[in-house]
Amino acid sequence: MRTFETQIGRFEAGFSICHMLCVLGVFSSSFSLGQVVQSERAQRFKATHEWTDPLTVPLVLSGNFGELRGNHFHTGLDMKTQGREGLPVLAATDGVLARVKMSPWGYGNALYLEGPDGITTVYAHLQRFTPEVQAWAVARTYKGRSLGLDATPPASAGLTFQAGDTLGWSGNSGGSGGPHLHFEVRDTPTQHPLNPLQGWVAKSDSRPPSAPTWWLESERGLVSVPTDGADTVVVEGEVRVSIEAYDRLDGASNICGIHTLEAVLKDGQDDVQWTHRFGLDELNFSVNKDMNAHTLFPVWKRERDQVHRLHRLPGNRLEIYGGGAASGVVALDSGEVATLECRVWDVAGNQTARTLVLRGGASALPWTVVEFEGASPQAESPSALHTLSAPQATLSWDDKTFFEPTAVGWRSDSTGLSAFVWPEFEAWRGKVDVAWKMPSREVVWGISGAALPQDAWPTADWVAVHEVGGQVKHAVPADVQEGTWRMALPSGGAWRMVRDTVAPKVIPYHSGTPLVQGGDAVWFVEDLLAGVETLTLTIDGQWARLVWDPKRNMATYEAADARHPSGAPVRVQLEVMDAVGNAATWSGTLVWP
Ligand SMILES: [Zn+2]
């Protein structure tokens, strides 16, 4: 959290905190219509159908619905599993298995149970499925020769369950950062996730939300102001305001998301200038990444604080807002005063109210510029052409690439192998196409480490790498045409071109043999730049399934698949290829007990 001091702290005559709180009482719409509709739906459902909470341990949540995450709103509840894997996961409703997913990413091993009355429940990051589901899923991967699975079991598979039946066991698969169960309630026809705390899953919450910080945004940059400061904040020009607001649920200290927010701007005569509202009752996966436009992205990117804009950016397609499309702009003449009243609710109905008094004048706030400055050339988006021609590169994008008009810039270093691309601290909804002229062949060959070639430039194995704090954040394979790299970059920041000619590493995870107790075979697999693209295991020439865990660089053949002979030597081969085609193979003879 930033610290901040207001420079000018005079309070306007006639205004007091008491007066402002009284004004808040004027607004009656404490809950959105969605809240009522969803709660009634859950009540109706439970009056006529069985409902079982999916875990048998006391319910502790590490995350809730609508919380800001990575580049999306969180679509379910994260239920703690006491730091362990392997807890039974129960069907919340009667239902038929509508979708089975197995993936090293995202939901990992996940089940979608289609229940009555248009309700589907989702169980993600599982360790494994109940035996009949596991058998069906594994058979299906062998049929399709694919490590991942995303399929609907046919009715003939007979995968129907009753509320309370065990569907599988909790785990940490996919993009999970620790053992837990990710649980969702969805509307079946739309597959829109609904807020499970609106009558589906009961969780006590006695604490009102926290709303500690205002964020102000102007042409001069960004500044934060604590919400408990009693001072008037002096601003000049056009200002947009955001607020940091989050909630904590009983029994855990995890920062969770709020449910509803209402912000009202009033002028000095107490007349309402605009109102901004949202409610997190229902989400839509097709636009869920517009969370990047809902939050104040420069702060989100650096601090991961739960900050909500009190306005809607032009490109924001989220369907969570009520009322008119407020610009959210505050523009005050010198001496003019406006009051911003913001109320925040959690899903249990606990409320927190904050008021910010703004006055026009010479602002002495310590504004900080967030973008990289002083570089050139730049172009403004949306421009007629959406292109930027720099000495070494041409950048092009369209008006869907950013959520609002944004300056795009490029500057390459003296070697021509690294470049800074901005905006770095604005959300990118799409990608920017880059045609980047390769520097002289001496420079290119100097880094490739190979003997001087016949060709002017090597054309294969190029990767654009974006590193943050020494970690590869993005690696984008580049095509080479006529001495030019071509690729689509997904974000701003420092990018460098490297050749990845190094094959992945494939070795037994433990010393000697990949075979471990119980008959599983485990390999360590790693590729440093381009990243692992494919893994192919054969046992005696026959394709076999691997469980790929990129978090631990672990590829496992599970003996339970039973595709290996016992008691006789058999030829096993694992081939791994990276994203630019470098391949490595481990092969050996294994004898299963
Ligand atoms: Zn989750």
pLDDT tens-digit map of 153-187: 999 999 999 999 999 999 999 999 999 999 999 99
Nearest to 209 by CA among 248, 178, 182: 248
Give the distance (Å) from ligand 1 centre to CA of residue 340. 33
Instruction: Based on the fold, state whether residues 495 and 576 are members of the same structural domain.
Output: no
Give the distance (Å) from ligand 1 centre to CA of residue 182. 4
How large is the average pLDDT for residues 95-109?
Answer: 97
Least confident of 100-104, 128-132, 348-352, 383-387: 383-387
Question: Does residue 365 lie in a domain region?
Answer: no
Give the distance (Å) from ligand 1 centre to CA of residue 77. 6
Given 141, 159, 194, which residue is the final one in a domain? Answer: 194
Give the distance (Å) from ligand 1 centre to CA of residue 177. 10
Instruction: Based on the fold, state whether residues 356 and 209 are members of the same structural domain.
Output: yes
pLDDT of 499 above 70: yes
pLDDT of 451 above 60: no
Give pLDDT, residue 388: 86
Give pLDDT, residue 510: 87
Give the distance (Å) from ligand 1 centre to CA of residue 355. 33
Give the distance (Å) from ligand 1 centre to CA of residue 171. 12
pLDDT of 359 above 60: yes
Instruction: Based on the fold, state whether residues 222 and 304 are members of the same structural domain.
Output: yes
Query: Two tokens at 250?
Result: 């009983």
Q: Give every strand in the sheet of 521-526, ordered side by side.
A: 505-508, 521-526, 554-557, 547-549
Question: Does residue 2 lie in a domain region?
Answer: no
Give the distance (Å) from ligand 1 centre to CA of residue 29. 30
Domain harbouring 484, CATH code: 2.60.220
Question: Does residue 1 lie in a domain region?
Answer: no
* Neighbouring residues of the ion ligand 1, judged by CB less than 5 Å: 78, 182
Give the distance (Å) from ligand 1 centre to CA of residue 69. 9
Task: Return the amino acid letter for 509.
Answer: Y
Give the distance (Å) from ligand 1 centre to CA of residue 78. 5
Give the distance (Å) from ligand 1 centre to CA of residue 105. 13
Give pLDDT, residue 442: 74
Given 303, 330, 360, which residue is the final one in a domain? Answer: 360
Instruction: Based on the fold, state whether residues 253 and 267 are members of the same structural domain.
Output: yes
Give the distance (Å) from ligand 1 centre to CA of residue 4. 34
Give pLDDT, residue 35: 74
Give the distance (Å) from ligand 1 centre to CA of residue 125. 9
Give pLDDT, residue 375: 54
Question: Does residue 218 lie in a domain region?
Answer: yes
What's the CA gap between 526 and 514, in Å, rounded? Answer: 15
Give the distance (Å) from ligand 1 centre to CA of residue 63. 7
CB-side neighbour CA atoms (13 Å) of 95: 30
Give the distance (Å) from ligand 1 centre to CA of residue 145. 29
Give the distance (Å) from ligand 1 centre to CA of residue 347. 17
More confident residue, 7 or 97: 97
Give the distance (Å) from ligand 1 centre to CA of residue 573. 36
pLDDT of 4 above 60: no
Give the distance (Å) from ligand 1 centre to CA of residue 473. 21
Give the distance (Å) from ligand 1 centre to CA of residue 417. 39
Give pLDDT, residue 194: 97
Give the distance (Å) from ligand 1 centre to CA of residue 404. 29
Instruction: Based on the fold, state whether residues 68 and 136 are members of the same structural domain.
Output: yes
Question: Does residue 369 lie in a domain region?
Answer: no
Instruction: Based on the fold, state whether residues 126 and 79 are members of the same structural domain.
Output: yes
Give the distance (Å) from ligand 1 centre to CA of residue 255. 13
Mean pLDDT of the residues in the chain: 89
Give pLDDT, residue 252: 87
Instruction: Based on the fold, state whether residues 180 and 262 are members of the same structural domain.
Output: no
CB-side neighbour CA atoms (13 Å) of 354: 25
Give the distance (Å) from ligand 1 centre to CA of residue 578. 29
Domain harbouring 264, CATH code: 2.60.40
Give the distance (Å) from ligand 1 centre to CA of residue 148. 20
- Between strands 233-235 and 351-360, the pairing is parallel
pLDDT of 453 above 70: no
Give the distance (Å) from ligand 1 centre to CA of residue 76. 6
32 band by pLDDT with thresholds 50, 70 and 90: low
Give the distance (Å) from ligand 1 centre to CA of residue 219. 37
Give pLDDT, residue 447: 62
Give the distance (Å) from ligand 1 centre to CA of residue 169. 16
Give pLDDT, residue 441: 76
Instruction: Based on the fold, state whether residues 214 and 323 are members of the same structural domain.
Output: yes
18 band by pLDDT with thresholds 50, 70 and 90: very low
Instruction: Based on the fold, state whether residues 188 and 232 are members of the same structural domain.
Output: no
Question: Does residue 10 lie in a domain region?
Answer: no
Give the distance (Å) from ligand 1 centre to CA of residue 64. 8
Question: CB–CB of 197/203 below 8 Å?
Answer: yes
What's the CA gap between 185 and 201, in Å, rounded? Answer: 10
Range of the domain at 232: 17-26+205-360
pLDDT of 324 above 70: no
Domain harbouring 90, CATH code: 2.70.70.10
Give the distance (Å) from ligand 1 centre to CA of residue 67. 10
11 band by pLDDT with thresholds 50, 70 and 90: very low
What's the CA gap between 320 and 245, in Å, rounded? Answer: 16
Give the distance (Å) from ligand 1 centre to CA of residue 121. 13
36 band by pLDDT with thresholds 50, 70 and 90: confident
Give pLDDT, residue 413: 87
Give the distance (Å) from ligand 1 centre to CA of residue 557. 27
Question: Does residue 480 lie in a domain region?
Answer: yes
Question: CB–CB of 579/531 below 8 Å?
Answer: yes
Give the distance (Å) from ligand 1 centre to CA of residue 79. 8
pLDDT of 75 above 60: yes
Give the distance (Å) from ligand 1 centre to CA of residue 181. 7
pLDDT of 10 above 50: no
pLDDT of 439 above 80: yes
Give pLDDT, residue 1: 26
> In sequence order, what DSSP letters do the residues of 99-148 get, joined into one string?
EEEE-SSTT-EEEEEE-STTEEEEEEEEEEE-HHHHHHHHHHHHHHT-SS
How large is the average pLDDT for residues 53-78?
Answer: 96
Give the distance (Å) from ligand 1 centre to CA of residue 55. 15
Give the distance (Å) from ligand 1 centre to CA of residue 495. 31
Nearest to 247 by CA among 350, 353, 355, 178: 350
Give the distance (Å) from ligand 1 centre to CA of residue 485. 38
Give the distance (Å) from ligand 1 centre to CA of residue 518. 31
pLDDT tens-place string over residues 480-497:
988 899 999 999 999 999
pLDDT tens-place string over residues 193-245:
999 999 999 999 999 999 999 999 998 999 999 999 878 999 999 999 999 99
Give pLDDT, residue 8: 27
Give the distance (Å) from ligand 1 centre to CA of residue 465. 29
Give the distance (Å) from ligand 1 centre to CA of residue 92. 17
Instruction: Based on the fold, state whether residues 169 and 231 are members of the same structural domain.
Output: no
Instruction: Based on the fold, state whether residues 156 and 77 are members of the same structural domain.
Output: yes
How large is the average pLDDT for residues 264-268?
Answer: 94
How large is the average pLDDT for residues 302-326?
Answer: 89
Give the distance (Å) from ligand 1 centre to CA of residue 66. 10
Task: Return the amino acid letter for 513.
Answer: T
Instruction: Based on the fold, state whether residues 39 and 120 are members of the same structural domain.
Output: yes
Give the distance (Å) from ligand 1 centre to CA of residue 107. 8
Question: Does residue 4 lie in a domain region?
Answer: no
Give the distance (Å) from ligand 1 centre to CA of residue 197. 14
Give the distance (Å) from ligand 1 centre to CA of residue 61. 10
Q: Count structural domains, the chain.
A: 4
pLDDT of 537 above 70: yes
> In sequence order, what DSSP letters do the residues of 297-359 get, joined into one string?
HHHHHHH---EEESS--TT---S-EESS----EEE--BT-EEEEEEEEE-TT--EEEEEEEEE
Given 152, 168, 194, which residue is the final one in a domain? Answer: 194
Question: CB–CB of 495/489 below 8 Å?
Answer: yes
pLDDT of 431 above 90: yes
Give the distance (Å) from ligand 1 centre to CA of residue 386. 37
Give the distance (Å) from ligand 1 centre to CA of residue 289. 15
